[in-house]
Structures are given as structure tokens and as C-alpha cells.
Amino acid sequence: MQNKVKVSIIIPVYNVEKYIYDCVNRVLAQSLQDIEVILVDDGSCDNSGKICDEYAKKDKRVKVIHQVNGKQGKARNEGVKIATGEYIGFVDGDDCISSSMYEELYNKAKATDADIVMCDYYRFLGSGKVSSKKSKIDKIFLKKDVFNMNNLSCAPSRRSFFCIAVCWNKIFKRDFYLKNLKFPENIIFEDTPVMFDAFVKAERISVVNKKLYYYRINNNNSSSVSKNGNVLDLFKSGNLTLDNLLCFDYNKFSKFVIASIVRDYIHHLKDLTGILRIQYIQQLDNIIKRIEEMELYKFISFKDKIRLFFIFKKGFKCQNII
């Protein structure tokens, strides 16, 4: 039986030759050296796949998978299949991490026996940090060393949405992950339903209140880019989230989930034009109707209800003209 390393770090790679060296070099230079790095080439059209193979030849801790493009969800799922670590973490191929990130997350996980450990992050443009002061981690998560969503005194604030909804600022206990989590494939925005589900199912969650991850916001090749038809995947992700709300008792978390995803829908609309904007508004209308049917509309903020009113009024008027 293969010996377990402390953390398996899975990196989906898709057309990121410009950034992949910086990403992987920083992962391999972690202060926690007992790691394995699984690079999953998701059908890249540039030299990213070859670069992954180069790393595997140079460092025995690196494993490489090549696959037909299935987007990040499939890449992560394939990486998990061969992961051997006590804990599992994810890094996007165009991002960077602090040199101590996985040591700090791992030490916290061992000290608290946590199913999930989460840290804060920077948003950065190129090599410069653009968000360094305001924490994305809700203070409610810092009141206890270990918590779960059932023993919080109230729902988290919406500002912590992104911090919860992404997978790359966390590590997951291997047994917990394999029992409970799997990413949807062939869509983007795949993190959100899985991470919400993870936070509901986890009995022990802990936080390292430091910014240890660097999230790049200017990579036009990244699968997070939403200014094209892929943005409609947001509603596939949203419906998966609503499915989970039906299947599990999200209690206080429901307010946070609904308020957060609706605000996210409104945010993504601002850059859309033409037919894609109309298609987006149609999908938005469908999912708001489903939220109403589930008697969860009350959790949408008053301001967002006003915004939705004007979006639908203007959007469907434009549709009739076209």
C-alpha cells in the first residue's frame, strides 16, 4: 500500500503556459515538503501539457494526468482519484500561493481534527496585490477554534460568499472528501454547489485567518472567465445548489446561500450585452421562480429584489423589441 503524504495538491491546467511556472514553482517550494502535486492537463491547446510533463521528470512529487477537455470539475475529480494525501487541496493553474500556505492549513487541521480548514485570499492583477486589507472571512467564523454550520449563532454575511464558495483556499480531510464530495463536470462555476454542500456536511471546520492564496483576476484564458456563453453555466450550478437545499437541512445557511447566489447572478449580468444578456435574464427569471416555489424568496435582500424588478422589466422589454 502506498504511503500517504500529508497533502495532495491538485492543479487543473488549461492553456496557462504564461502562468504555470509561477504557480507550480510556488507549490513545490512550500515549507511543507511532504506533499504530492497532481497536474491535470485539461486538453490544453498551448504548451501547458508539455510543461506539466517537464515537472514530473524533475520532481518525484509531481504526477501528471492528460485528459480531453472536461473543465475544472472533471480535472479535479480525476486528480482526486489518484491522490494519496491525508488531506486534499486545490490550486488553479493561473494562481499563486504563499510559501507557508499548506503547512499552516495542515497544522491547523491536525490541531483541530477539522474536516475543512479555510484561509483568506488576495485578489491580484499580475504581480501586484489589489486587495490586501479587508478580510473576506466573516467574524462569526473566528469566534470558535472549530465550528460547524449548525452551531453558528447566526448566518454568515454575504461578504464571505466567495471565500466559502471556492475550493482553492481550503484543505479537506481525505475521508470526509471521498465520502461526501464530487465536482459536477463540464460546467464552470462548479465550486459553489460542492462547497456549500461541504460546509453543511462538515462536523468540524476551522480557519487560518491569514491571506495565503493569490487569486488572479486578469487571465482571459481562465475557465473562470464569464463574458461568453459559459456564463449560463452559472444557472446549472445554481440549480445544483437548490437541489442540495431540498435534500439537506441547510437551516441558517439557507439565508446566506440564497442571498449570496442571487447577488452573484446580478453581478455577472453587468458585463453582458445582446442576445447573451437576454438569454441570461431568461435563465435568471427561471431560477428566481424556482426560489419562490421553494419559499426561499424571503432570503433575497430588499435591494436585490428592487434590482431584479428593474432587470426583468427592462430585460423582457428589450426581448420583445428584438
pLDDT tens-place string over residues 268-284: 898 898 999 999 999 99
Alpha-carbon distance 89 to 80, whole Å?
9
Contacts of 133 (CB under 8 A, 6+ apart): none
CB distance 123 to 215 below 8 Å: yes
What is the pTM (predicted TM-score) of this model?
A: 0.90
Alpha-carbon distance 321 to 101, whole Å?
53
Domain ranges in the chain are: 7-216, 229-321
Tell me which CATH homologous superfamily contains domain 7-216: Spore Coat Polysaccharide Biosynthesis Protein SpsA; Chain A (3.90.550.10)
Which residue's entry shows cell 493569490? 214
Mean predicted confidence (pLDDT) in 93-113:
97
- The torsion of the CA quartet 162, 256, 258, 214, rounded to 10 degrees, works out to 0
Mean predicted confidence (pLDDT) in 101-114:
98
pLDDT band at 226 (very low <50, low <70, confident <90, very high): very low
What whole-number percentage of the chain has pLDDT above 90? 69
DSSP 68: -
Alpha-carbon distance 186 to 284, whole Å?
20
User: CA dist 319 to 274, 288, 310, 313, 316, Å?
Assistant: 10, 18, 14, 10, 5
